[in-house]
Structure 1
Amino acid sequence: MEQPLRIALISEHASPLATLGGVDSGGQNIYVAHVARCLAQAGHQVDVLTRRDSATLAPSVDMRPGARVIHIPAGPSEFVPKEQLMAHMPEFAHGTRTLMEHSMPYDLVHANFFMSGMVAQRLKRTLGLPFVITFHALGLVRREHQKEADAFPIERLEIERQLVHDADAIVSECPQDSDDLTRLYGADPERMAMVPCGFDPAEFRPMNRAQARTKLGLDPHEFIVLQLGRLVPRKGIDNVIRSLAHLPPDMPVRLLVVGGDDREPDEARTPEIARLRSVARESGVAARVSFVGHRSRDELREYYSAADVFVTTPWYEPFGITPLEAMACGTPVIGSDVGGIRYSVRDGETGFLVPPHEPAALAQKLEHLQANPSLARAMGRAGIRRARSLFTWERITRELVDVYREVCERRRESPPPWLQRPRLVSPTGTALAR
């Protein structure tokens, strides 16, 4: 029987304990939380290292037996936008190294996002720890689409190139991610493994649509289009709103926009709501759009199940977890023909793929689904099968463990020369030792 691994998951800005739905809280938080839990459930020892962003946080928090979150002081103990965190990464790296010198010895580090990669890179150089990296988003791709709106410093691009060169393994999340890493960053295919994101089948599964609508107070006769996730411009929610203007005036359609910083939609706290409401008014569809506000994870299944279709048309998407959640609930998905959505959604089978900036094309697919409820039901069933067969977190974690073990085996077979010096990690463990 193979020995369990001791893994440090670094996620500097995306804590698995964070409230989801804010500007900097989304798919990466979900990814880290579920990977950590599944690794621990499989018998591995996992620490998630994240930045201490509140003075009230305990130094460490147990997620479940075998998995805990450790808060590393770096910068002020308050929220800092991720675009402004690079200056605090040396302090984060120093705190992480100090922790590791007095804690259990890890087999490897799995860095999430490029700034976590910066920390892992230093740990490899000082402690000899191999590291795996999942970028979750690439600076060159972000800059291509967001242009001057991209607030990350230009140094990010060279840092990512160095990380691609130094990482022991790179986890891409979809074929497009693999292509971008190879084409834009010169990644070595021999050190790349494609492992997608996932969903929890205990959390997201079908429920009766009529019951879901009754519970949510929704009209049983409307064709309900659901948009759910972070409210930021790149998610293309304005495209979904504009598509409503291309639908027949007598079509009984309602768009639900779920997300934001507060349970009640607050334009002051979530300025994107104000912008999107303005788009709805200018498009003449304000009466067809309902902003719901933030909802907790345990409420989302009801919204997915109540909808006739889930729509997500971002400009680009490294992967996108919400389409999986919708599919798992038996709801057809219309998504942008980009990134991970192109991989998770099977065009014509589990939903439709459309160009990201063409509201008329989206409207055509919405009208087609509304006119063909039997097709929508068939797509929903196909989505359930596809999600369950390929995208459960349990399966994704098994694939990650295969990557981890390959990295550890390569390191044992060919240790670099500088690994011959004594390790700095205590073999017995003190301080935060288990």
Structure 2
Amino acid sequence: MKIALISEHASPLATLGSIDSGGQNVYVAYVARELAQAGHTVDVFTRRDSPELPPVVYFGRNVRVIPVPAGPACFIPKESLLPHMEEFSDNMVTCCARARPYDVIHANFFMSGIAAQRMRDEYGSPFVITFHALGKVRRLHQGSADGFPASRVDIEEMLVASADRIVAECPQDRDDLVNLYDARLDDVDVVPCGVETTELGPGSRHLRKEFGIGDDEFVVLQLGRLVPRKGIDNVIRGVAALEREDGITAKLLVVGGESDNPDPALTPEIGRLQAIAEAEGVADRVIFTGRRPRTALRDFYCAADVFVTTPWYEPFGITPLEAMACGCPVIGASVGGIKHTVVDGVTGYLVPPHDPSALADRLARVRVNPARARMFGRAGIRRVCSAFTWQHVAASLESVYHSLQPQPEIRFDERMARL
């Protein structure tokens, strides 16, 4: 098949860990590569956010990234991109005018859905959409802090009604689409995110030396985008409660940000979290590392005794799977995709998202029972390899795409032969 992936704000070329670079970037990059590995031709359309980008970037065999002009060629927060989506759609249509139509168009995020629907109108290609996050759910959890325009929900409702197929990332995502957006259950396929197990797996703890951490110290890891909804303040308070309530001291590594060196001026969330750590009396035990390339993430997962992620809400969440792939126990918030990927009491623990005491309790259990922690780690590896590799994801998406392709008519003599 000839496949178009649209991801207007989350380019596979972006540096991960910055404010708008996270799980969706990873998803698009690995889905594109795996579909190409399976023999398909894949074009990824994303917004041109730098004047230095060429018209086409060859991302791998049979994969091209096509930066589409839409607004100024610089970073624009995704909350401010909607006014540029008409230009994005127009330029996509122009770009594709001389090419063979795509067999399927897969939009990622609601704004990409606008372009996908326009492409279907122009060329007749069916379109699939993965929302990655839903406006009604985001508003429920973020309230007035949600910076997207109110029209987002109207656009999402229109796309749910018009898309040829909808891909939900977890059962909670499917339920939200059905219950909040009136999606037809038969139109929704659940296909999770994945992990590249050739890049992530068990390894040594040598990274501890870089941060002056001893082999016998208890290390908690938080890794990902540094934005308030990720609940990193809850992790800091949980580490403080662990010391107050259980007498256990832990070092917390916080990986992410807008720069390689942690800088509150460039990443305001770092300054807010540093103030919380100071108020909780654990400032000397919370280490902000700055952002790190994907090639370095395995070392962080392997250096930690436990990975913690307690966002307010999470449409899916790739980092818990990455930690599990490395054999690291996971304590996650019982929300969204995390409660689907992390099996409570088997690969780690699930806790409420705003409960430092509950988090401290589970941290203590991991610390005092190393044998159970190792058991969690082994179970996590098995779970990832059995259901959450990018190969599994691409194969499931292939099935969705194939279901939308025209079926060849069977001639009368062929029908008779079958009888």
After TM superposition, the score normalised by the length of structure 2 is 0.95
Tell me by how many angstroms 1:252 deviates: 3.0
Following superposition, the deviation at residue 245 of structure 1 comes to: 2.1
The residue matched to 2:36 in structure 1 has which SS?
helix
Secondary structure of the structure 2 residue equivalent to 1:162: helix
User: 1: distance between equivalents of 2:371 and 2:293?
Assistant: 31
Match of 1:252 among 249, 252, 266: 249
Counterpart for residue 418 of structure 1: none
**Structure 1 residue 262, shift from structure 2 partner:** 1.1
1:87-98 matches, within 5 Å, as: 87-98=83-94
Q: Shift of the alpha carbon at 1:126?
A: 2.2
Shift of 1:344: 0.3
Q: Which of the numbers 278, 288, 292 marks the counterpart of 1:295?
A: 292
1:46 paired to 2:45: no
Q: Encode CA deviations 1:239-294: one digit per residue, 9 max, x unaligned.
A: 00011221235423111101101111000000000000011111122122111111
How many pairs are equivalent?
A: 407
Distance in structure 2 (CA, Å) of the matches to 1:255 and 1:55: 38
Which of 145, 149, 153 is the matching residue for 2:149?
Answer: 153
CA deviation vs aligned residue, 1:184-235 (integer Å, no higher than 9, x gap): 00001111100000010011000123x3434664321210000000000000
Does the 8 A contact of 1:200 with 1:392 survive in 2? yes
Residues 370-410 of structure 1: CA distance to partner in whole angstroms, max 9, x if unpaired? 01000000000000000111100011000000000001247
Q: Quick check: 1:362 aligned with 2:378? A: no
1:110 counterpart letter in structure 2: H
Structure 1 residue 366 displacement after superposition: 0.2
Please identify runs of 4+ aligned residues in structure 1 that moved more than 4 A: none
Which one of the candidate residues 204, 215, 229 is aligned to 2:224?
229
> Corresponding residue for 2:325?
328
Secondary structure class of the residue paired with 1:40: helix
1:276 corresponds, among 273, 282, 297, to: 273
The aligned amino acid for 2:199 is E
Matched, 1:177 2:167: no
The alpha carbon displacement at 1:157 in A equals 0.3
Match of 1:139 among 135, 148, 151: 135
- Cα pair 1:320 1:341 within 8 Å, conserved: yes
2:413 maps to which residue?
Answer: none
* Equivalence for 2:16: 20
Other-structure match for 1:428: none
Aligned to 2:109: 113
Query: Which residue, 282, 300, 304 being the options, matches 2:301?
Result: 304
- CA–CA distance in 2 between the matches of 1:382 and 1:310? 15
**In structure 1, distance between residues paired with 2:99 and 2:66:** 12
Indicate if the aligned counterparts of 1:221 and 1:252 stay in contact, CA closer than 8 A.
no
**How far has the Cα of 1:331 moved from its partner?**
0.3
Distance in structure 2 (CA, Å) of the matches to 1:201 and 1:321: 13
* Residues in 2 aligned to 1:361 and 1:376: alpha-carbon distance in whole angstroms: 17
Distance between the aligned counterparts of 1:91 and 1:263, measured in 2? 33
Letter in 1 for 2:365: H
Q: Take 1:244 and 1:11, find their aligned partners in 2: how far apart are those partners?
A: 36
Compare 243-252 and 111-120 and name the one that shifted more: 243-252
Q: Distance in 1 between matches of 2:198 and 2:313?
A: 29
CA distance in 2, matches of 1:291, 1:214: 15
The code of the aligned residue for 2:337 comes to G
Counterpart-to-counterpart distance in 2, 1:82 and 1:215: 35
What CA distance in whole angstroms lies between the structure 1 residues aligned with 2:151 and 2:306? Answer: 41
Instruction: Pick from 393, 399, 403 the counterpart of residue 402 of structure 1.
Output: 399
CA RMSD, 1 decimal: 1.2
- 8 A contact 1:260–1:270 mirrored in 2: yes
In structure 2, the partner of 1:417 is none
Aligned to 1:373: 370
CA distance in 2, matches of 1:338, 1:92: 33
Cα distance in structure 1, aligned partners of 2:15 and 2:213: 26
| Counterpart pick for 1:386 among 379, 383, 386 | 383
Residue number among 60, 63, 71 corresponding to 2:59 in the alignment: 63
Matches within 5 A, 1:198-237: 198-209=194-205, 211-214=206-209, 217-237=212-232
Unaligned residue ranges in structure 2 (runs of 5+): 410-419
The amino acid of 2:387's aligned partner reads: L
| Contact 1:11/1:112 (8 A) holds in 2 | yes
- Counting aligned pairs with the same residue, the percent is 59
Query: What is the rounded CA distance, in whole Å, between the counterparts of 1:190 and 1:161 in structure 2?
Result: 17
Deviation at 1:131, TM superposition (A): 0.1
Counterpart of 1:353 in structure 2 is 350
Tell me which residue corresponds to 2:32: 36
Counterpart CA distance in 2 for 1:263 and 1:326 is: 21
Aligned mate of 1:267, from 264, 268, 274? 264
Counterparts of 2:224 and 2:44, CA distance in 1? 24
Q: Which residue in the other structure is 2:191 paired with?
A: 195
Q: In structure 1, what is the equivalent of residue 76 of structure 2?
A: 80
Q: CA deviation at 1:146?
A: 0.6
Q: Distance in 1 between matches of 2:406 and 2:237?
A: 53
After superposition, the C-alpha distances for 1:297-337 in whole angstroms (9 at most, x for unaligned) are 10110000010000000000000000000000000000000
Question: What CA distance in whole angstroms lies between the structure 2 residues aligned with 1:408 and 1:216?
Answer: 53
* Cα separation, 2, equivalents of 1:88 and 1:287: 44
